[in-house]
């Protein structure tokens, strides 16, 4: 085995596949130890190897655990375990005791003769002979294991890389398109863009470059499985981070996002420094920044509004581009937005989209009414109240006149009588009467 050539190959592979050299040497040592055990070792042995990358020198050790008699299962306990195994019962080593195996264990007394400071429970390395005839078969075995281990290391490194990228945006190239998913090359591995995470109506083509939001990364037998999305709301904020340096500089913050992918989104931004216009910063000069994001999202419309800590103002802003006259807050996170008559349809939006996005953005349930509707409801509410006031006033008027009527009844009254007969139309008699009490 030309170990010097192997060291050169390690450096080349490390650079080509972006894997630390030390990691590759560890894999090679494991492979060589495996080949040595297969050629010269025993089944239960644990063998480790060390390869000096400078000299190419190889050394081997057998690893044993240092134990005391108290740590081992007694003859009676071993017999009991044997009976359980014969009866088909589940075997368990009670109280953490172990079954002694000469290939894997060494008594503390023997270990101290080799290494005085060794303690029970530790491992001790016992040197093995480096065979001169560790030849072609062993080398071939080592080579196969090395290739296998390098693939495993690549998978592990790729998994770590994309696990750290969860919640971030990656760039990839479409490899192939299937009915249920699009597969995208994202570097060390291939990412999956499921149908449910695709923008409705967006067309993909092989070789197309996409920006994708990393939802999750899982380790599988075939390597890391990276699931990405084109519809996740935070994809928009991450795309703005790439275009707006004020966000990375902590001068500007995107507070919330509501999105109907492929159609329209609303973004609430807040300035952390005086003098920075959050809307202007996200839009950019002549709309260059926001256009870059819109183009990446297949023309999806984006409304940028200013976030406000006061719910009334935030709701009013969220209903942009419609103008809002007043916002009234009500219990149970409900609100009423009063809109000019000519702005009502704009506030509601096509099929209710504008108010729906505003509600998602603010977290408030929003009821939309025009000023005419509010005034009409106010008139309807006033009419019954006025009727009630009139009815309540009638008994009061009667009561105030009762005393006057009683006084008038006691006074003599003049009663006009018409004389019946021929001269009834010419003379009227006045008769003075007086009310008497019985």
Please tell me the CATH code under which domain 3-156 is placed: 3.30.1480.10
Provide the pairing of β-strand 223-229 with 181-185. unpaired
Distance, CA of 203 to CA of 211 (rounded, Å) = 14
Tokens 């989209």 belong to residue: 353
The pLDDT, as a whole number, for residue 286 is 92
Q: Which CATH architecture has domain 233-307?
A: 2-Layer Sandwich (3.30)
Q: Per-residue pLDDT tens, the chain, 438 aa: give them.
A: 455 566 777 777 777 777 788 888 888 888 889 888 988 888 889 999 988 877 777 889 999 999 999 888 888 888 877 777 665 444 445 557 888 889 999 999 999 999 999 999 999 999 998 887 776 666 676 677 777 777 888 888 889 999 999 999 999 999 999 999 999 999 888 999 999 999 998 999 999 999 999 999 998 888 889 999 999 999 999 999 999 999 999 999 999 999 999 999 999 999 999 999 999 999 999 999 999 999 999 899 999 999 999 999 999 999 999 999 999 999 999 999 999 999 999 999 999 999 999 999 999 999 999 999 999 988 888 766 655 555 554 443 343 333 344 344 444 444 344 433 333 333 333 333 343 333
Burial class (CB in 10 A: 0-12, 13-18, 19+), 96: exposed
The pLDDT, as a whole number, for residue 387 is 57
- Helix 288-296 / helix 234-243 crossing angle, nearest 10 deg: 140
> Which part of the chain is CATH 3.30.300.20?
233-307, 309-391
The pLDDT, as a whole number, for residue 2 is 57
Q: How is residue 79 written in tokens? A: 């017999």
**Cβ-contact 236, 269 below 8 angstroms:** no
Q: How is residue 350 written in tokens? A: 């096509």
Rounded to the nearest 5°, which phi and psi values hold at 179? -60, -35
The pLDDT, as a whole number, for residue 90 is 46
Collapsing DSSP to helix, strand or coil, 307 comes out as coil
Q: Of 3.40.50.11540, 3.40.30.10, 3.40.50.10300, 3.30.300.20, which CATH number belongs to 309-391?
A: 3.30.300.20
Q: How far is CA 310 from CA 101, 225, 278, 279, 313, in A?
A: 73, 43, 17, 18, 6
**Cβ-contact 65, 106 below 8 angstroms:** yes
The pLDDT, as a whole number, for residue 86 is 62
Rounded to the nearest 5°, which phi and psi values hold at 310? -85, 120
The pLDDT, as a whole number, for residue 79 is 80
> Which part of the chain is CATH 3.30.1480.10?
3-156
The pLDDT, as a whole number, for residue 74 is 83
Collapsing DSSP to helix, strand or coil, 319 comes out as coil
Distance, CA of 63 to CA of 164 (rounded, Å) = 35
> Which part of the chain is CATH 2.40.50.140?
165-229
Concatenated DSSP letters for 145-170?
A: HHHHHHHHHHHHHHHHHHHHTTTSEE
Question: Domain spanning 165-229: which superfamily?
Answer: Nucleic acid-binding proteins (2.40.50.140)
């Amino acid at each position: 085995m030309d170990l010097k050539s192997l060291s050169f190959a390690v450096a080349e592979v490390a650079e080509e596949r972006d894997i630390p050299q030390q990691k590759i040497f560890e894999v090679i040592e494991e492979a060589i130890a495996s080949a040595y055990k297969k050629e010269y070792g025993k089944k239960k042995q644990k063998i480790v190897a060390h390869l000096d990358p400078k000299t190419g020198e190889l050394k081997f050790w057998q690893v044993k655990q240092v134990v005391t008699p108290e740590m081992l299962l007694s003859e009676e306990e071993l017999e009991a375990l044997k009976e359980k195994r014969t009866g088909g019962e589940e075997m368990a080593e009670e109280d953490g005791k172990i079954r002694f195996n000469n290939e894997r264990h060494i008594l503390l007394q023997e270990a101290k003769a080799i290494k005085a400071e060794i303690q029970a429970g530790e491992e001790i390395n016992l040197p093995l002979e480096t065979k001169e005839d560790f030849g072609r078969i062993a080398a071939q075995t080592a080579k196969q294991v090395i290739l296998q281990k390098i693939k495993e290391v690549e998978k592990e490194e790729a998994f770590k890389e994309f696990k750290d990228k969860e919640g971030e945006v990656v760039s990839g190239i479409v490899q192939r398109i299937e009915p249920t998913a699009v597969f995208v090359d994202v570097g060390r591995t291939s990412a999956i863009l499921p149908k449910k995470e695709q923008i409705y109506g967006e067309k993909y083509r092989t070789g197309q470059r996409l920006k994708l939001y990393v939802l999750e990364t899982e380790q599988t037998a075939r390597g890391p499985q990276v699931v990405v999305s084109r519809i996740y709301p935070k994809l928009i904020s991450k795309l703005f981070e790439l275009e707006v340096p004020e966000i990375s500089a902590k001068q500007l913050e995107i507070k919330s996002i509501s999105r109907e992918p492929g159609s329209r989104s609303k973004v609430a931004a807040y300035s952390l420094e005086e003098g920075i216009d959050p809307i202007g910063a996200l839009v950019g000069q002549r709309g260059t920044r926001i256009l870059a994001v819109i183009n990446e999202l297949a023309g999806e419309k984006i409304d940028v509004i200013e976030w406000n800590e006061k719910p009334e103002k935030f709701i009013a802003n969220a209903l942009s581009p419609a103008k809002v006259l007043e916002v009234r807050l009500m219990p149970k996170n409900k609100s009423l937005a009063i809109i000019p008559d000519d702005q009502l349809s704009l506030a509601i939006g096509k099929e209710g989209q504008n108010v729906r996005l505003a509600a998602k953005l603010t977290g408030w349930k929003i009821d939309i009414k025009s000023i005419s509707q509010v005034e009409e409801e106010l008139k309807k509410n006033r009419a019954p109240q006025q009727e009630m006031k009139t009815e309540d006033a009638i008994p009061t008027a009667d009561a105030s006149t009762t005393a006057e009527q009683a006084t008038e009844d006691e006074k003599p009254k003049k009663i006009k009588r018409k004389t019946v007969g021929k001269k009834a139309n010419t003379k009227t008699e006045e008769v003075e009467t007086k009310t008497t009490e019985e």
